[in-house]
Structure 1
Amino acid sequence: MERRNIYIQNQHIAYFSMEIGLNADIPTYSGGLGVLAGDTIKSAADLNIPLVAVTLLYRKGYFRQEFDPTGWQHEHDIDWKPERYLQLLPHKALISMEQRDIKIQAWLYRVKSPAGGEIPVLFLDTDIPGNDDQDRHLTDHLYGGDQTLRLKQEIILGIGGARILQAMNFSIKKYHMNEGHASLLTLELLNQTRQNLGDNSDDFSSTNIREVAEKCVFTTHTPVPAGHDRFPYDLVEKIMPRDIPLATLKKFAGEEDLNMTMLGMNLSRFINGVAKRHGQISQDMFPGFQIHAITNGIHPYTWCSPFMVRLFNRYLPGWANEPELLVRVDTISDDEIWDAHCGAKALFFQYIHEQTGTQLDPELLTIGFARRAATYKRGDLIFSNIERLLDMGAGKLQFVFGGKAHPQDNEGKKVIQRIIQQAEKMRGKIALVYLENYNMDTAAQFIPGVDLWLNNPMRPLEASGTSGMKAALNGVPNFSVLDGWWIEGHIEGVTGWAIGPAPHDVKDDSSHADRDLEDMYDKLERVIIPLYYDNHPGWVRVMKNAIGKNAYYFNTHVMMRRYVTEAYIH
């Protein structure tokens, strides 16, 4: 690593994430969490924040998605060559699992900003000669396998990642855990601290604990209890290294099982959720902790269509590094905003035609929905009353969908299948396309290329929802339930539209599907469709408001400045 001295001469923030999405050529991400991590790193580079990122190298990626004639999802390994994009470093670290020594190596990717900043991203890998054959495949797949594989991967990320940084002589001011997957790094830090103090006891002093907690920041991303990794202690005892006494582990991670969220929170000075509402929900879930809220964002330049980039560059120079300049979007004429949007739409429709053979009508109001196909996101909700949808939308609406279901999530696969099968029922009346293998490249065309961004998860399960921020940046209004970031960004009829009841009118034990569906249909029929077709200046006004009142704030530049001032510098 010829540039190592540049990276280690100052103290760094070590940012740990199970997945990181930097571009589609490096398929080490599955969805929002990984893309957020990538956007975080890019903004850190833009803002010259001294960050080093740590993740795993998945040699077979997440998966490539393919549909059979019935609309059922099938998964295939992704064939990619890490050496084409990453530099293998000479540094190694040793960890122990199942009383077996396993070597870990690191690959380097440099995220470079036009502003001059550069962030090293370390991808950890166990495919090393000398490792047991089964251990060489531990980092093949993201979110694959069973609890045993998941725990092993989290040991590699947390403990192995901390040891790799130590082997490379990085000086770390703070360790930022992006979700509980990385929480085992706290145990390694406890051990390092104890060794530094020359303490050979089996327990950790309050000094050890306080010193580790002062260095740690923990971000939780899910309000779903099942979304927090937990491992039974019999599995933990079988796999984990022996240098952490079980009694100590239970003290920080829970008596019943190893709760990765509890472990991370108990050993972190600063804890946050990823939207104001999510911070409140997390506070209710974990009442013994002080939980802050730093709303997620998106990297502006990455997610802006080339057509909008040219427009913003001409009228708002410097916007990519100062996205707050987007509040001045009114200096751009309505016609130019609309023309830029039409360019993005035409490019996307060309892509759809090339991929599927379907020719969509550029004149029609096009609704987009693309995200992970988890059941709580209710991707097929809008088709619940197909007769009413056809009655209001025939000849006026068309739909584009995308997104993957986890390979083991058969219910999520059924949601995709139902959506695909709706296309046949609506044929000749309302066009519907479900694009295969949604990834970052597809998203970059998809999101700017639709007219309206639909989001209707069950509340309060949407922690943030960054796809809607990407839409707003491109002048695509949101039509969403009031959850996650949209509670903060929504102004009814100004930046977009809400679906269903307000947050204070929601009982968490009810899905409110009937109310959501009725409100969705009613607003589409009475407000959104008429505005699009009968009041063009009014529609463009909402587009501009999405940019000037949402995108200027909901971005990773704003987010990272908050992390620096609230979490990192103390």
Structure 2
Amino acid sequence: MDFKNFKVPYTSDDRYSKKVAYFSMEFAIHQPLKIYSGGLGFLSGSHLRSAYELKQNLIGIGILWKYGYYDQARNQDQTLQVTWMEKIYSFLEDTGIKFQIIVHDVPVWVKAYYLNPETFNSAPLFLLSTDLPENDYVSQTICHRLYDANVSTKVAQFMLLGIGGAKLIDELNFNPDLYHLNEAHGISSAFYLLQKYKSVEKLKEHLVFTTHTPEEAGNEKHDIYLCQKMSYFCGFSIDEVRKLTGIEDDQFNHSLAALRFAKMANGVSKLHGKVSNEMWSKYSGICPITSITNAQNWRYWADKQLYASMDENNDWRFDDRKWYLKKRAFEIVADQTGKLFNPSILTIVWARRFAGYKRADFLSWDMERFNALVNNKKYPVQIIWAGKPYPVDYPAITQFNNLVQLSKNYKNVAVLVGYELALSKRLKQASDIWLNNPRVPREASGTSGMTAAMNGAINFSTDDGWIPEFINDGNNGFVVPQADYRNMNVQEQDAYDLDKIYEMLEQQILPLYYDQPDTWRQIRKNGMRDVRVQFDSNRMAHEYYEKLYK
């Protein structure tokens, strides 16, 4: 294949003829390609699958992480062990493209690999690597670990994605109409492109930005002098950078720079769009921020047999299929933990990235009610936890390990390791209740519930992220009614949410599952039906062309 004048290797639909290069730090396209950590990757993976289905003129730019994010294993006592395993991918093509970028005043060789659209049904994806014998060891490690804990390595990774990605596009002679940054990790590309376009005004015509972070503290900032020392600004002096970005202090705020360089940005749910506009309104020179709600690829995620029996109105087959999906997933639970779960029992699953605000262990904050819940003879439950904490987020790892120790006391409570695409799908199939309890309004979108609904799980969530656009309480899911959170401190908010979650479980959800199976089935179906149209990533990929790229 000729990569010197690269074109998308299929005829693009006229509606989507505008050329777009989509930059993301991670892509969760399929289980065998382990270059993702969590929601951001799941989102960009679904985006590339839908771009392929809709035949959009779009390519993905990412990094080939040698050790992936990390492999989640167990210590002797079942607690979390972080392991690093070299990944080998025979299905990636070597493009033969090699070029240099400057990092820390030193030339670093970059090699580009290619994921053919036919391999996993995704838009063309180019992945960059510095793991080459021509580079010194430190330069080789830039692409070793996704979100490396070392600050300098992380800045170098941002440069590899941004500057390296923009340079690769020149090597391909792709000449995109737009550079789309999915999160601000790749904003170093703007400094590279400024040399090409010569002015911020001209750059703005070609740059759009998606923000995923609903609070200012969560946006990446790095010492501006460190960035300068590392050649992040492509030859611009600090004074020039301050003038170009309007950043006065010594912290280079990647998102703020992106919002000032882009012609348009978007939040990832209606609520997040509103929160983002409020959050950034105190800064001048910000581009307009709209919202395009995240979505997931229905064709990849949904259980087709479950949908077929729903469409045929065959309730017996529908129930039987869900029972089978649960039974099959429980084999994994038994294999990992030695616990035999029963497919007839209501199963609650909490599975996603472990982070403080997501409150993974929330149910265990009131042990009296927790014990009553898991020992309920009339309305029995089973609980599964899974998810990957960031490998050096010790509070999150402690939270995970505490749940492992807690689970040892119960036959019907399990904690699983290895939460990636494949296990994620199985756990959604295992789930009757997909529990999601972040502190409002800290979840930008929280897409895991979408794919849960595509597999017949019912969402039970605090009212955050995409949930206000989806859940009609008691009709297609269950939602904790919002309190006046703005006038509550964190402890009051936690106490209110926890009480409501238990109250709804005890008085509404459990009796409904066991005493009114027909109503329960209808809620399940309503969720499946509502998620299919509104939260399939084909809708989202289409909206990007309509709202952000036009």
- Range class of TM-score, shorter chain: over 0.9
Q: Alignment partner of 1:552: what SS?
A: helix
**Residue in 1 that maps onto 2:29:** 22
Give the conservation status (yes or no) of the 8 Å contact 1:459–1:508: no
The Cα of 1:505 is off from its aligned counterpart by: 5.2
Q: Alignment partner of 1:171: what SS?
A: coil
Matches within 5 A, 1:482-497: 482-497=463-478
**Does residue 1:167 correspond to 2:171, yes or no?**
yes
Evaluate the alpha carbon distance shift between residue 22 and residue 253 of structure 1 in structure 2; reply closer, same or farther with a 3 A threshold. Answer: farther
- Counterpart CA distance in 1 for 2:413 and 2:240 is 55
**Residue in 1 that maps onto 2:14:** none
1:19-77 residue CA offsets vs partner (Å, 9 max, x unmatched): 11112211110011011111100000000011110011111111111233555322111
**Does residue 1:120 correspond to 2:127, yes or no?**
no
Matches within 5 A, 1:342-381: 342-381=323-362
Matches within 5 A, 1:78-97: 78-82=85-89, 84-97=90-103
Matches within 5 A, 1:238-387: 238-240=229-231, 242-251=234-243, 252=245, 254-256=247-249, 257-287=251-281, 288=284, 289=286, 290-305=288-303, 309-312=304-307, 314=308, 331-387=312-368
Between 509-518 and 343-352, the greater mean CA deviation after superposition: 509-518
The alignment's TM-score, normalised by the length of structure 1, stands at 0.89
Q: Alignment partner of 1:279: what SS?
A: helix
Return the match for 2:449 from 468, 479, 491: 468
Matches within 5 A, 1:34-113: 34-82=41-89, 84-112=90-118
1:131-175 residue CA offsets vs partner (Å, 9 max, x unmatched): 222212210110123111111011110011000110111020111
Aligned length: 532
Q: Alignment partner of 1:172: what SS?
A: coil
**Residue in 2 that maps onto 1:33:** 40
Give the conservation status (yes or no) of the 8 Å contact 2:440–2:485: no
**Does residue 1:224 correspond to 2:187, yes or no?**
no
- Counterpart CA distance in 2 for 1:311 and 1:465 is 23
1:360-403 residue CA offsets vs partner (Å, 9 max, x unmatched): 11111000010111111101111122222322442401111100
- Counterpart CA distance in 1 for 2:461 and 2:18 is 41
Paired residue type of 1:407: P
Give the conservation status (yes or no) of the 8 Å contact 1:11–1:170: no
- Counterpart CA distance in 1 for 2:490 and 2:110 is 46
The Cα of 1:510 is off from its aligned counterpart by: 3.0
Q: Alignment partner of 1:112: what SS?
A: helix
Between 245-254 and 37-46, the greater mean CA deviation after superposition: 245-254
Give the conservation status (yes or no) of the 8 Å contact 2:27–2:42: yes
- Counterpart CA distance in 2 for 1:105 and 1:253 is 34
Q: Alignment partner of 1:186: what SS?
A: helix
Paired residue type of 2:247: G
Give the conservation status (yes or no) of the 8 Å contact 2:68–2:144: yes
Give the conservation status (yes or no) of the 8 Å contact 2:437–2:461: yes
Q: Alignment partner of 1:137: what SS?
A: helix
- Counterpart CA distance in 1 for 2:468 and 2:387 is 24
The Cα of 1:261 is off from its aligned counterpart by: 0.3
- Counterpart CA distance in 2 for 1:118 and 1:553 is 21
Give the conservation status (yes or no) of the 8 Å contact 1:71–1:416: no
Evaluate the alpha carbon distance shift between residue 360 and residue 551 of structure 1 in structure 2; reply closer, same or farther with a 3 A threshold. Answer: same
- Counterpart CA distance in 2 for 1:151 and 1:297 is 29
Evaluate the alpha carbon distance shift between residue 506 and residue 364 of structure 1 in structure 2; reply closer, same or farther with a 3 A threshold. Answer: farther
Evaluate the alpha carbon distance shift between residue 169 and residue 532 of structure 1 in structure 2; reply closer, same or farther with a 3 A threshold. Answer: same
Paired residue type of 1:37: S
Give the conservation status (yes or no) of the 8 Å contact 1:334–1:537: no
- Counterpart CA distance in 2 for 1:279 and 1:35 is 20
Give the conservation status (yes or no) of the 8 Å contact 1:272–1:279: yes
The alignment's TM-score, normalised by the length of structure 2, stands at 0.93
Give the conservation status (yes or no) of the 8 Å contact 1:92–1:104: yes
- Counterpart CA distance in 2 for 1:507 and 1:434 is 35
1:267-326 residue CA offsets vs partner (Å, 9 max, x unmatched): 111111001111111111100432111100001011113xxx1353x57xxxxxxxxxxx
The Cα of 1:421 is off from its aligned counterpart by: 1.8
- Counterpart CA distance in 2 for 1:469 and 1:143 is 26
Paired residue type of 1:58: W
Identity %: 30
The Cα of 1:226 is off from its aligned counterpart by: 2.5
Paired residue type of 2:535: F
Between 550-559 and 1-10, the greater mean CA deviation after superposition: 1-10
Paired residue type of 2:8: Y
The Cα of 1:526 is off from its aligned counterpart by: 0.6
Evaluate the alpha carbon distance shift between residue 411 and residue 566 of structure 1 in structure 2; reply closer, same or farther with a 3 A threshold. Answer: same
Give the conservation status (yes or no) of the 8 Å contact 1:18–1:181: yes
The Cα of 1:549 is off from its aligned counterpart by: 2.0
The Cα of 1:331 is off from its aligned counterpart by: 4.9
The Cα of 1:333 is off from its aligned counterpart by: 3.0
**Residue in 1 that maps onto 2:137:** 133
Evaluate the alpha carbon distance shift between residue 379 and residue 447 of structure 1 in structure 2; reply closer, same or farther with a 3 A threshold. Answer: same
- Counterpart CA distance in 1 for 2:73 and 2:311 is 43
Between 433-442 and 353-362, the greater mean CA deviation after superposition: 353-362
Paired residue type of 1:412: A
Q: Alignment partner of 1:278: what SS?
A: helix
Between 539-548 and 337-346, the greater mean CA deviation after superposition: 337-346
Evaluate the alpha carbon distance shift between residue 366 and residue 239 of structure 1 in structure 2; reply closer, same or farther with a 3 A threshold. Answer: same
Give the conservation status (yes or no) of the 8 Å contact 1:270–1:567: yes
- Counterpart CA distance in 2 for 1:176 and 1:33 is 14
Q: Report the RMSD for the aligned CA atoms in angstroms.
A: 2.0
Give the conservation status (yes or no) of the 8 Å contact 2:306–2:456: no
Paired residue type of 1:524: L
- Counterpart CA distance in 1 for 2:74 and 2:455 is 29
